[in-house]
Amino acid sequence: MVITIPLVLLLGIGALLLLRFKAVGFGAALAVALFGFYLAGTGAADTVNQLVTAITGALAGIGR
């Protein structure tokens, strides 16, 4: 049985844990979130999406 978890959920949990354990401040987390939001609206979004898809595909191939 295969269970999939959206990458945005995993990254959100990671960000919350970093905030919870005070590894990063609220201002820095907000800056990174806004950077990602605005990056998604640029021409680099397709390249970033392809890179993440390739990395997750490679990681999935290792587990088989």
Per-residue burial over 8-36, b if 16 or more Cβ lie within 10 Å, else e, is: eeeeeeeeeeeeeeeeeeeeeeeeeeeee
Tell me if 2 is assigned to some domain. no
- Dist CA 57 CA 53 (whole Å): 6
Q: What is the chain's Cα-based Rg?
A: 14
- Number of residues in the chain: 64
Does pTM surpass 0.85? no
State the residue range of the domain holding 40.
7-62
Tell me if 1 is assigned to some domain. no
Tell me if 34 is assigned to some domain. yes
pLDDT in tens, 1-39: 566 778 888 988 999 999 999 999 999 999 999 998 999
The domain total for the chain is: 1
